[in-house]
Structure 1
């Protein structure tokens, strides 16, 4: 077997192998297995509530890619999220920034309505938000829509009224 035949064989195997990995290819292209955009999460490697939030997103059908970082304030600054809206993790999805424990339902609503905005934020770490569950307790909190200029308006309130 000469070099040209060997390289041709490698190319064929690679092409065939690629068809079995469509979810990976889709994730790299920006959409996950459920047709939702991939969520890129930036979190501290030692934070358990961030991991629980990632699991919440995955249960809701999102494909999540996690990058562990040690300086979350630098991540927020790079993404353009004002410090006053900071949570314990940041994420990006379909051109939006997601800050803190934002429920998956609100991310879906954001993606469905596509407002002209920077993204969503749940400042701090409110008890009862996704990843911050402590039994039946749910402290009231707001999901904020953050404009590109840094202003906030209420996008949703929790707990939802029955």
Structure 2
């Protein structure tokens, strides 16, 4: 009897840990974009739970969240009060959320570089940078990929 109780408690603890590590957020995207869905899948595979809002009115959302045209990509996520634009790798978002930089309001991968999460295409990989940005649109390189 004690052993089965211990097993049940252990399973409950593991289940609670798994649930606690899920990071929730919202992703805004066009209803017609396939790469946005592929990026959401990448995020879910890496412990995120994103509500998906499909809209044809992306520009007002991006403006409201402090994104300038130079920083824009196809989809925009809000996670833990921060903005993540485009094909930002899940690992970079986790690192950002752990550090919570004081001046930065989010990360972006401008454009849609091949080989970034959601933009995989027959092994083609373009070099790209993940940029941190502040409320004034100023950026700094957060990380480099496919270099």
Do both share a fold (TM > 0.5)? yes
Aligned to 1:85: 71
Pairs aligned (count): 129
Residue correspondence of structure 1 range 64-79 to structure 2 within 5 A? 64-79=50-65
Structure 2: gaps of 5 or more residues = 1-17
> Matches of residues 130-149 of structure 1 in structure 2 within 5 Å?
130-149=117-136
Which residue matches 1:26?
none
**1:134: Cα distance to partner?**
0.6
Tell me which residue corresponds to 2:44. Answer: 58
Q: Which runs of 4+ in 1 moved over 4 A?
A: none
Question: What secondary structure, in the 3-state scheme, does the structure 1 residue paired with 2:19 have?
Answer: coil
State the shift of 1:34 in Å. Answer: 4.5
**TM-score of the superposed pair, with normalisation by structure 1:** 0.76
1:24-63 counterparts in 2 under 5 A? Answer: 33-63=19-49
* Whole-angstrom CA distance in 2 between matches of 1:34 and 1:130: 24
Q: Output the aligned Cα RMSD.
A: 1.3
The TM-score normalised by the length of structure 2 is 0.84
Q: Distance in 1 between matches of 2:56 and 2:20?
A: 30
**Higher strand residue share:** 2
- 1:128 to 2:115 alignment: yes
Counterpart-to-counterpart distance in 2, 1:112 and 1:87: 24
Larger-Rg structure? 1
